[in-house]
Amino acid sequence: MVPAIALIATTLAAFARIIQPYLAIHYDLRFELGMVIGQVLFQWCVMWRRTWSERAHYALILIAISGLGAALLWPLLLFHHFAPVTPLAAVAYFFGVVAVMFLAHLWLVHRARLPLLLCATWVVYRLFLLAIIVKHS
């Protein structure tokens, strides 16, 4: 599990270098790891009445969704290696990735018979992070 989280964090840190002009913070591997751990802890607060087994299963769902998002960023990162992508184009691509991640998250939560509220709080957590990360002009 640790190698998967490291690969996800490395991928998102590479993506952040492309969109750095839009970021209010220096986005690096440590920040990404903190976001991943924070997401799990935040969602576990929503699941406070659930068993530890269900919480662990949901943590694996979060890692799977993050892994999917990272894998969907690889084509952009590869393309950027050969022909630089503008930050705006990268952000537009990322919105598509997030849409796929949300649908996969919704499907996995439903399949695991977990509360769909987790999908709403997944979005709330992400929007909260965007408010911190994105530059406000």
Structural domain boundaries of the chain?
Answer: 2-133
106: which residues sit within 8 A by CB, 6+ positions away?
A: 116, 119
Which tens digits make up the pLDDT trace of 25-53?
888 778 888 888 888 889 989 898 899 99
The pairs formed by 105-113 with CB atoms below 8 angstroms and a separation of 24 or more are 105/61, 105/65, 108/61, 108/64, 108/65, 109/58, 109/61, 112/54, 112/57, 112/58, 112/61
Per residue in 98-117, pLDDT tens?
999 999 999 999 999 999 99
